A and B are shown apart, each in its own frame.
Chain A
């Protein structure tokens, strides 16, 4: 089975991230049973003017965070398909945050251990953030399905209006549009 991860799939104007931070809070609820976006395993970044984006771990096969970790606390678990932090080994140095090219690693505000997305493994059937993402920007899928969908959307956009009228083709779909 292909490896599934949380992807960010959106484009302006309607399907873009809106910066509502629901994913961050839901994540902290699932992992900590409290609400605190700073304990969420992903981040929502808002840059004025009007630019929002979610940043989340892509579960790299060769995770730079793991390569840099002095205690080898971060490894890619082939069976589960996720990059895991071993909390007993983590010393809270933060070098993984330095190493991650996306800024997807975070430090827990109270325990000071590295935290990252584990795709809700063993806690929730699919990643909870994906389920509660109202604009439908977060998607839990494997890379090639995403590629196929993006390619189809690209092709759909280049179809002539007369062909669209025939109604035989499925347009891009999202939760509310």
Chain B
């Protein structure tokens, strides 16, 4: 009998792959109350159960698939799941998050979390048919790409409504930035979680769920739904932009309106006269096939394309969203949409993170152009920005770890260490993870968010997008400071930006733990008032919640992740951006002459967080967040 009235189904499945044993247990109520779910609970479990400083690709590592209390409910965009583990790319806490239809199915099958231990002797997949999980042989699908895997498993189990999440050849070959793919095109990609799944010999997880997810307060929930749908309609402009072009509106926004954040040629330039070949509306007009939505999502930013002419004619796949498009496109100097769509499709099929793939290829391109690596290193390939065909070849070589691909499959940082010759300077990484498509010199708060993110360079941990938009910046400043000083509204000035980042990090931690999408119109509204999230939590679970408390939980989650990383040896020295962003001023574009004032930002950030100057959470702070036991245990200070 479940302890929970709604939201949570109340079960956790522990799968020991080494012994082939499956254990079902109840979800602990204290975890649910203090960490909400999803990313929050997973980070706590990682802290509790993982021994410090293990090799991420050894059987000692654990892999957690988490859903949140909102997953499976018709709350807008509540389709997500988080996969958490110790990352083989950053050696810190790592997680990837994905939408699609897999996570709700897991909830309907009756599980909040799946935790995998050990390593299977031969390839296996887990088949969860409601209450009956079983480990099945996957030798015949080992080596197949994610699309084939999905089709074969559905065929084998004889039901097309089964949902499958799987790894492709990249995960099997332990490419350090391999992803986990569900529903063909939805990827939980970052931090190399696919490689950890590959190291466990776990090819896929197939789920069929026919059970219920309850809500605690039925009437309150229906009222809440009516309210948020109305809210969504009131946010008409924002929603219709996302609906018609998805995240690609960022391309236009970064190039057209004074922001200058699109990374071009591995962040060496911010200008490109013919950028409109990749503008959102060009892509819509020429290449859009149809729009598709993740579970329960009114936004439907997941779109499909069919390339009709040219050498890539017949390519059918997802239209890359902004990050994939900028990483596999402008960052590598490629401005041809069909090539980018093809590259994106290859990454989905092989199961690789598009951001890191684009990042590592751009790194190789720059090193080659600077003469630090030559044809001898690259198996005779002629690298260089804009070399689209070579980019596609490299993607295949990385996935299969062939020749030079094997070097790049280690990620930019380890590849640079292996190559040497001063190439480290051109690896655009924080904590070993490739930077996403944000030239942070244009936006101080984004720079800080990337630097301090608990999973390596990442825009989604903080997502401080609100200081770009002057109206929203004003509201946020008013909310946080009680006034609107001009510095707070100018995104190129570091002052006050740490407050924005901290606030957004807390909210984002809650959003990730509820497992709703960051594009959810309601989250946009909650940047101004966390009240809506608290209300959702209350009507879903029946546990009382206030806006202050929900931010406090956000802070707790950020701190436990930080403590995990400190235990792994990460301190202030790891919170720095590549020198390109802090020492080389932006060469051109709207942000010309600006750098990220990282020391000032970090200083303020640590102080406001109540951490030491080295970025270590103090015992006092942890005690204040109810993590006293952890503070005593860790004794890292």
- Is A36 an interface position by the 8 A CB rule? yes
Q: How far is the CA of A77 from the CA of B33 in the complex (A)?
A: 49
Residue pair A49, B306 in contact (C-beta under 8 Å): yes
Q: Which one, B211, B218, B289, contacts A49 given CB within 8 A?
A: B289
- Is A153 an interface position by the 8 A CB rule? no
Interface residues of A in 158-177 (CB under 8 A from B): 175-177
Residue pair B298, A13 in contact (C-beta under 8 Å): no
Residue pair A134, B225 in contact (C-beta under 8 Å): no
Residue pair A36, B295 in contact (C-beta under 8 Å): no
Residue pair B300, A135 in contact (C-beta under 8 Å): yes
Q: Residue on A with the closest CB to B299?
A: A134
Residue pair A36, B293 in contact (C-beta under 8 Å): no
Residue pair A20, B215 in contact (C-beta under 8 Å): no
Pick the most buried of B229, B239, B243, B294: most chain A CB atoms within 10 A of its CB. B243
Residue pair B239, A35 in contact (C-beta under 8 Å): no
Q: Which one, A14, A38, A135, contacts B210 given CB within 8 A?
A: A38
Which residues from B are CB-within-8-Å of A121? none
Which residues from B are CB-within-8-Å of A37? 104, 108
Residue pair A33, B218 in contact (C-beta under 8 Å): yes
- Is A103 an interface position by the 8 A CB rule? no
- Is B236 an interface position by the 8 A CB rule? yes
Which residues from A are CB-within-8-Å of B212? 28, 32, 34-36, 39
Q: Do most interface residues of chain A lie in helix, strand or loop, or is the interface mixed?
A: loop
- Is A73 an interface position by the 8 A CB rule? no
- Is B452 an interface position by the 8 A CB rule? no
Q: How far is the CA of A21 from the CA of B300 in the complex (A)?
A: 12
Q: How far is the CA of A85 from the CA of B463 in the complex (A)?
A: 50
Known: A25-B74, A49-B304, A176-B236. A16 touches B243 (CB 8 A): no
Q: How far is the CA of A129 from the CA of B315 in the complex (A)?
A: 35
Q: How far is the CA of A41 from the CA of B296 in the complex (A)?
A: 16
- Is B316 an interface position by the 8 A CB rule? yes
Residue pair B291, A26 in contact (C-beta under 8 Å): no
Q: Which one, B215, B289, B299, contacts A50 given CB within 8 A?
A: B289
Q: Residue on B with the closest CB to A25?
A: B74
Residue pair A21, B101 in contact (C-beta under 8 Å): yes
Residue pair A175, B233 in contact (C-beta under 8 Å): yes
Residue pair A134, B211 in contact (C-beta under 8 Å): no
Q: How far is the CA of A50 from the CA of B319 in the complex (A)?
A: 12
Known: A20-B298, A132-B225. A14 touches B244 (CB 8 A): yes
Residue pair B296, A16 in contact (C-beta under 8 Å): no
- Is B255 an interface position by the 8 A CB rule? no
CB distance from B48 to the nearest CB of A (A): 30
Pick the most buried of A20, A51, A131: most chain B CB atoms within 10 A of its CB. A20
Which residues from A are CB-within-8-Å of B244? 14, 177
Residue pair B316, A49 in contact (C-beta under 8 Å): yes
- Is B73 an interface position by the 8 A CB rule? yes
- Is B214 an interface position by the 8 A CB rule? yes
B-contact bits for A9-49, CB 8 A (1 contact / 0 none):
00011101011111001101100111111110000001011
Q: How far is the CA of A20 from the CA of B292 in the complex (A)?
A: 8
Known: A16-B290, A18-B291, A20-B295. A177 touches B215 (CB 8 A): no
A-contact bits for B195-218, CB 8 A (1 contact / 0 none):
000000000000000111111001
Pick the most buried of B232, B233, B243, B291: most chain A CB atoms within 10 A of its CB. B291
Residue pair A50, B290 in contact (C-beta under 8 Å): yes
Interface residues of B in 124-176 (CB under 8 A from A): none
Q: Which one, A12, A20, A132, contacts B300 given CB within 8 A?
A: A20
Q: Residue on B with the closest CB to A17?
A: B293
Q: How far is the CA of A22 from the CA of B294 in the complex (A)?
A: 10
Q: Residue on B with the closest CB to A46?
A: B292
Report the interface size for chain A: residues with CB under 8 A from the other chain: 35
Q: How far is the CA of A30 from the CA of B218 in the complex (A)?
A: 9
Which residues from A are CB-within-8-Å of B39? none
Which residues from A are CB-within-8-Å of B225? 26, 132
Q: Which one, A13, A26, A32, A176, contacts B239 given CB within 8 A?
A: A176
Which residues from B are CB-within-8-Å of A52? 292
Residue pair B295, A35 in contact (C-beta under 8 Å): no
Residue pair A29, B184 in contact (C-beta under 8 Å): no
Residue pair B292, A34 in contact (C-beta under 8 Å): no
Known: A34-B214, A36-B212. A132 touches B291 (CB 8 A): no
- Is B58 an interface position by the 8 A CB rule? no
Residue pair A36, B292 in contact (C-beta under 8 Å): no
Which residues from A are CB-within-8-Å of B108? 36-38
Interface residues of B in 248-306 (CB under 8 A from A): 288-300, 304, 306
- Is A109 an interface position by the 8 A CB rule? yes
Residue pair B291, A16 in contact (C-beta under 8 Å): yes
CB distance from B433 to the nearest CB of A (A): 31
Which residues from A are CB-within-8-Å of B306? 49
Q: Residue on A with the closest CB to B214?
A: A34
- Is B381 an interface position by the 8 A CB rule? no
A-contact bits for B452-492, CB 8 A (1 contact / 0 none):
00000000000000000000000000000000000000000
Interface residues of A in 28-85 (CB under 8 A from B): 28-29, 32-39, 46, 48-52
Residue pair B304, A50 in contact (C-beta under 8 Å): yes
Pick the most buried of B240, B243, B292: most chain A CB atoms within 10 A of its CB. B292
Residue pair B74, A134 in contact (C-beta under 8 Å): no
CB distance from A102 to the nearest CB of B (A): 18
Which residues from A are CB-within-8-Å of B359? none
Q: How far is the CA of A52 from the CA of B294 in the complex (A)?
A: 12
Q: How far is the CA of A18 from the CA of B301 in the complex (A)?
A: 10
CB distance from B601 to the nearest CB of A (A): 38
Residue pair A21, B210 in contact (C-beta under 8 Å): no
Residue pair B295, A21 in contact (C-beta under 8 Å): yes
Known: A32-B212, A35-B213. A134 touches B290 (CB 8 A): no
Known: A33-B218, A34-B213, A176-B243. A14 touches B291 (CB 8 A): yes
Q: How far is the CA of A51 from the CA of B293 in the complex (A)?
A: 11
Residue pair B74, A13 in contact (C-beta under 8 Å): no
- Is B72 an interface position by the 8 A CB rule? yes
A positions within 8 Å CB-CB of B: 12-14, 16, 18-22, 25-26, 28-29, 32-39, 46, 48-52, 109, 131-132, 134-135, 175-177
B positions within 8 Å CB-CB of A: 72-74, 101, 104, 108, 184, 210-215, 218, 221-222, 225, 229, 232-233, 236, 239-240, 243-244, 288-300, 304, 306, 316
Please list 6 pairs of residues, one from A and one from B, whose beta carbons are closer than 8 Å in the complex, sorted by A's number. Answer: A22-B298, A28-B212, A35-B72, A35-B74, A35-B214, A176-B233
The 4 closest A-B pairs by CB, nearest first: A134-B298, A20-B293, A18-B293, A34-B212
Knowing that A16-B291, A29-B218, A33-B215 touch, tell me 20 more A-B residue pairs with CB under 8 angstroms: A13-B291, A14-B291, A18-B291, A18-B297, A20-B298, A22-B297, A22-B298, A25-B72, A25-B296, A26-B74, A29-B221, A33-B218, A35-B74, A36-B108, A36-B212, A37-B104, A49-B304, A50-B292, A176-B240, A177-B244
